[in-house]
C-alpha cells in the first residue's frame, strides 16, 4: 500500500498535541503519499471552475475592494452567496486582509471543499492507511471516522491572508475528539504562508465566531465569543509556526486558533490539504451559519453520533488489519517508538 506511515507517532508527540493543541510530525508520510496528494490538488485547481464549492479568494478580495457586486453575484451560484456575505463584511467596517504591497501581486488563492466525495485517488488518501492511523493515535479513540476535507492553494505573489480563526464553529459537531490534519505538498515557510497557531488556545473550551477567512468579520448570524484582533497584535499571543517539507504533517485540535499570511515568495507555490477526523465522543450539532456541505448525502440531528457514508469508520483500535505494516506490529505488542518531532 503506497499510502503508508513511515514511522510511529511518539508519546511525546501525543503529549504535544494534547497540551499545545498542535503537533508537527516530521517525515511521517511517504513520498508516494505526497505525490498522490500533489496530483489530486493539481486536478482540483484545473477543474475549480466546475466545482460548486471551488473559489478563487483573490478574485473575491479584488471584487469586494472594487465594490464589483456583479462579479460577486456571478460567483455566488454554489456553496456561498458571496454578494450577500461581502456586502455584510463591508457593513461591519472590518478590513479585508492582505499583505503589504498587494496591488502589484497577481497570485491566486484557491480553495475547494469535499474533494474526497468526487475524486477517488484523494478519497483513498483520506480513508485508508497513514492519516486515519495517525488520527487514531492522537485522538486516543477506539474508532476514527472521516469527517471532511478542503484543499488550499496559494500561488506565488498571493496577497490574501487567512484570518486567524477556530475550525470548531465552522463544523456542525461538538465534543473533544476532532483533529485537523494540514498536509503540505510543497516546502512551506513564513514567506510563502506557513501555518501559525496560538498554542493552548483549545484548552479552555471557548467557542469563537467563525469569520469569512479574508476578513475578521464573522459569518452572518454566527454565534460565539468575538475573536480578538490577533493579526495586529501577534506579540501578545503565544504563537508558533512551523517550516515544513513534503512528508511532514501538522495536526491541530479543532478548537486551536490558527491563521496564515499570504504567499510572498516569487516562485514557490503553497499547496496543502486540510483533512479532518473524529473520535468516539463527537456528536452532531446543528449550526445554521455553518458552510453548506453540498456533497453530503443526508442530514443528521443534533445529538446524533456521526454515522453513514458521509462519515465512514476509517480506523479501529482493535483491528490490526486496518493498520499499515510496522504500525500494526507495534500496536499488537503495545509499543510505540520513533523519532521525536523537532
pLDDT at residue number 188:
98
CA–CA separation, 28 and 13 (whole Å): 12
pLDDT at residue number 84:
85
Task: Return the H-helix or E-strand segment holding 19.
Answer: helix 11-20
CA–CA separation, 118 and 125 (whole Å): 13
Spell out the domain ranges in the chain. 11-333
CA–CA separation, 231 and 216 (whole Å): 9
pLDDT(339) > 50: no
- Interstrand relation of 55-56 and 109-113 (parallel, antiparallel or unpaired): antiparallel
Regarding predicted confidence, which is higher, 322 or 105?
105
pLDDT at residue number 2:
52
Reported as a single tens digit per residue, the pLDDT across 193-212 is: 999 999 999 999 999 999 99
CATH 3.40.50.970 fits 11-333, yes or no: no
Query: For the chain, how are helix, strand and coil distributed in percent, rounded to 5?
Result: 30, 25, 45
Confidence of residue 330 (pLDDT cuts 50, 70, 90): very low
Confidence of residue 334 (pLDDT cuts 50, 70, 90): very low
Residue showing cell 488550499 = 152
pLDDT(326) > 80: no
pLDDT(103) > 70: no
pTM score of the predicted model: 0.90
Q: Which residues, in sequence order, are CB contacts of 45 under 8 Å at separation 6+?
A: 110, 153
CA–CA separation, 162 and 55 (whole Å): 14
Q: Which of helix, strand or coil describes residue 69?
A: helix
> Rounded mean pLDDT of the chain?
89
Q: Which of helix, strand or coil describes residue 88?
A: helix
pLDDT at residue number 275:
98
Regarding predicted confidence, which is higher, 76 or 330?
76
CA–CA separation, 64 and 157 (whole Å): 19
Confidence of residue 123 (pLDDT cuts 50, 70, 90): very high
pLDDT at residue number 312:
97
Give the mean pLDDT of 75-91: 83
Report the range out of 78-92, 95-109, 158-172 with the highest average pLDDT.
158-172
pLDDT(322) > 90: no
Backbone φ, ψ for residue 151 (5° rounding): -120, 135
Length of the chain: 342
Residue showing cell 520513533 = 338
pLDDT(38) > 60: yes
Q: What percent of the chain has pLDDT over 70?
A: 90
Give the mean pLDDT of 77-87: 83
Reported as a single tens digit per residue, the pLDDT across 224-259 is: 999 999 999 999 999 999 999 999 999 999 999 999
pLDDT(328) > 70: no
Q: Which residues, in sequence order, are CB contacts of 7 under 8 Å at separation 6+?
A: 27, 28, 326, 338, 339
- Selection from 183, 209, 172 nearest residue 115 by Cα: 183
pLDDT at residue number 77:
75
H helices of 21-129, in order, are 31-46, 57-65, 69-74, 82-92, 120-127
Reported as a single tens digit per residue, the pLDDT across 182-192 is: 999 999 999 99
pLDDT at residue number 325:
40
pLDDT at residue number 105:
62
**What distances in angstroms separate CA 273 from CA 48, 251, 320, one per listed residue?**
15, 12, 27
- Selection from 31, 18, 104 nearest residue 62 by Cα: 104
pLDDT(17) > 70: yes
Confidence of residue 86 (pLDDT cuts 50, 70, 90): confident
Confidence of residue 320 (pLDDT cuts 50, 70, 90): low
Reported as a single tens digit per residue, the pLDDT across 256-280 is: 999 999 999 999 999 999 999 999 9
Amino acid at each position: 500500500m503506497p499510502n503508508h506511515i513511515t514511522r510511529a507517532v511518539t508519546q511525546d508527540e501525543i503529549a504535544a498535541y494534547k497540551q499545545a493543541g498542535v503537533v508537527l510530525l516530521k517525515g511521517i508520510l511517504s513520498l508516494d503519499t505526497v505525490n498522490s496528494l500533489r496530483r489530486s490538488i493539481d486536478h482540483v485547481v484545473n477543474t475549480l471552475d466546475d466545482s460548486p464549492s471551488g473559489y478563487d479568494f483573490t478574485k473575491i478580495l479584488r471584487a469586494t475592494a472594487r465594490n464589483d457586486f456583479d462579479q460577486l453575484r456571478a460567483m455566488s451560484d454554489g456553496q456561498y452567496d458571496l454578494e450577500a456575505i461581502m456586502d455584510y463584511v463591508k457593513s461591519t467596517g472590518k478590513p479585508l486582509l492582505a499583505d503589504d504591497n498587494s496591488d502589484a501581486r497577481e497570485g491566486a488563492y484557491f480553495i475547494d471543499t469535499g474533494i474526497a466525495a468526487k475524486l477517488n485517488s484523494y478519497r483513498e488518501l483520506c480513508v485508508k492507511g497513514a492519516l486515519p492511523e495517525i488520527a487514531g493515535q492522537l485522538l486516543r479513540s477506539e474508532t476514527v471516522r472521516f469527517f471532511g476535507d478542503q484543499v488550499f492553494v496559494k500561488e506565488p505573489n498571493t496577497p490574501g491572508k487567512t484570518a486567524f480563526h477556530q475550525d470548531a464553529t465552522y463544523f456542525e459537531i461538538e465534543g473533544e475528539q476532532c483533529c485537523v490534519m494540514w498536509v503540505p505538498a510543497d516546502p512551506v515557510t513564513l514567506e510563502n504562508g506557513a501555518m501559525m497557531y496560538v498554542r493552548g488556545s483549545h484548552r479552555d473550551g471557548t467557542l469563537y465566531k467563525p469569520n469569512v477567512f479574508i476578513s475578521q468579520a464573522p459569518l452572518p448570524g454566527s454565534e460565539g465569543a468575538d475573536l480578538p484582533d490577533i493579526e495586529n497584535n501577534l506579540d501578545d499571543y503565544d504563537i508558533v509556526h512551523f517550516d515544513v517539507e513534503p512528508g511532514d504533517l501538522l495536526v491541530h485540535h479543532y478548537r486551536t486558533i490558527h491563521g496564515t499570511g499570504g504567499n510572498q515568495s516569487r516562485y514557490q507555490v503553497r499547496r496543502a490539504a486540510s483533512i479532518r477526523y473524529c473520535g468516539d465522543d463527537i456528536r452532531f450539532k446543528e449550526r445554521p451559519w455553518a458552510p453548506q456541505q453540498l456533497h453530503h448525502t443526508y442530514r443528521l440531528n443534533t445529538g446524533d453520533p456521526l454515522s453513514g457514508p458521509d462519515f465512514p469508520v476509517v480506523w479501529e483500535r482493535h483491528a490490526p488489519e486496518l493498520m499499515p505494516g510496522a504500525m500494526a506490529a507495534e500496536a499488537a505488542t503495545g509499543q510505540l517508538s520513533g523519532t521525536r518531532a523537532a
